[in-house]
Chains A and B, each alone.
Chain A
């Protein structure tokens, strides 16, 4: 939900500490930020998103720019929070998995039921993250969740635009190989 023309006034009010304006900024981006964080850190997405928005609030009095700039700022903070979280948990090599998740996972002989059409948005993001390397998944998820161009993703990730394009190209190639077998069976129904 983009604010578009109302963004400057909302931003000004949010800087003044108006609750409604802060809520507008939050609601305009929170679903995408939360989805991005959940695709990378499933269990800690809620905590991480709260931390991200608190950081955004601290940076808000100094922020100047357009709505796209604000979106870039929010996702940059989200990515840094994610990196911090990964560093913290680097020595803890266990990922907590909810019981429901295990119960919902298809068994080994139920591969055909993994038709792409049946995937929810969250499962689609999870399958992308599982199939790709961390950098490739980062590029793809920032592009589709944040709506950023390759250049913007490069700025957020601190990489060169050419490197980001190479990463996204390889990511698409890997994904095409992963889903090629499924495509032959289930694509006619899916499309």
Chain B
């Protein structure tokens, strides 16, 4: 009986060499024969090769068995993997500490952006520490000439006498288009804030006259001193040319410079205003 070559059992019987010659369809007799011949295994090539291979196998089995029996030592990769979280944790902790120190320092100095600063101040308040809040613009900055936290655009104290001198000498205002300069603009703003004209402001606050007294000992005049948070008037000798000073620095400057001025006054006037000067400038 001839088998259909497309029958699955035919193929299975071809490979198992269970087909008689008469069962084969045309063209498949040779295939069946060649498969039958190909299925004959070749003899082992070399006895010594076989012996060597078996000896190597015994060694390999012993090594594999000992490896399987021994507790598995952690591999380098496993060790690295186990260390990885710890390393990451340490780095994170160091970074967090650095951020805390930096942020704390900036918050204490009051230089953080307002939202962060106020948040930091809120947290610190719970801890009993007072930090400048975000809205406190004076925090960490030098106090202005008027003190008391009030911030106006006042020219720097040291430059005020010179500025007033220049203004009163006619360099301000429209003369020479000096109105456009930042210094005069600030001077005018400061005067406006005090509700005075620039001339009055300079006469009261600017010390060009007084400074002149200082430089030329013995001269008399009246000057007003803004010292720290409050105004302090001195009649008689002007002892300091830069009394519209910054908080803290003005008293020191006044004390230092008053020495020269007072000496001059004492020398020429015989202490007309010297006692008063000494009394007010040295608390």
Contact = CB atoms under 8 A, between A and B. Distances in A.
Interface of A: 14-15, 17-19, 22-23, 26-27, 30-32, 34-35, 38-39, 46, 49-50, 53-54, 56-62, 116-117, 119-122, 124-125, 127-128, 140-141, 143-145, 150, 165, 168-169, 172-173, 175-177, 179-180, 182-183, 187, 190-191
Contacts of B28: 172, 176
27 contacts: A15-B61, A15-B65, A17-B58, A23-B50, A26-B50, A27-B44, A31-B41, A31-B44, A38-B42, A49-B53, A54-B53, A54-B56, A61-B64, A61-B65, A61-B68, A116-B34, A120-B37, A121-B42, A124-B34, A140-B38, A169-B11, A172-B28, A172-B31, A176-B5, A177-B27, A180-B30, A191-B33
Contact of B50 (A15, A27, A173, A187): A27
Given A31-B43, A61-B65, A125-B38, A175 B57 contact: no
B68 A62 contact: yes
Interface in B4-28: 5-6, 8, 11-12, 14-15, 21, 26-28
Contact of A50 (B12, B31, B56, B63): B56
B15, B21, B64 pick with most chain A CB within 10 angstroms: B15
A30 B131 CA distance: 86
A22, A60, A173, A182 pick with most chain B CB within 10 angstroms: A22
B62 to A, nearest CB: 5
Given A116-B37, A119-B34, A175-B31, 19 more contacts: A17-B58, A17-B61, A46-B45, A57-B61, A57-B64, A58-B64, A61-B61, A61-B68, A116-B30, A117-B33, A121-B37, A121-B40, A124-B38, A143-B15, A165-B8, A172-B31, A175-B30, A179-B34, A180-B30
B8 A31 contact: no
B40 A34 contact: no
Interface residues of B, number: 43
B54 interface: yes
B49 A46 contact: yes
B39 interface: yes
A173 B34 contact: no
B20 to A, nearest CB: 10
B60 A190 contact: no
Nearest to B57: A57
A168 B61 CA distance: 37
Interface string B159-183: 0000000000000000000000000
B269 interface: no
Q: Is chain B's interface secondary structure helix, strand, loop, or mixed overall?
A: helix
B267 interface: no
Nearest to A47: B49
B123 interface: no
B61 A182 contact: no
Interface of B: 5-6, 8, 11-12, 14-15, 21, 26-31, 33-35, 37-46, 49-50, 52-58, 60-65, 68
A56 B31 contact: no
A191 B68 CA distance: 55
Nearest to B10: A172
A172 B40 contact: no
B49 A50 contact: yes
Which 9 pairs of residues, A with B, have the shortest CB-CB distance? A179-B30, A31-B41, A57-B57, A57-B60, A121-B40, A124-B38, A176-B27, A124-B37, A144-B39
A77 B94 CA distance: 52
Contacts of B15: 140, 143-144, 168
Contacts of B5: 172-173, 176
Nearest to A59: B64
B52 to A, nearest CB: 8
A130 B56 CA distance: 34
B275 to A, nearest CB: 108
A43 to B, nearest CB: 12
A49 B26 CA distance: 38
Contacts of B35: 124, 128, 140, 144
A2 to B, nearest CB: 12
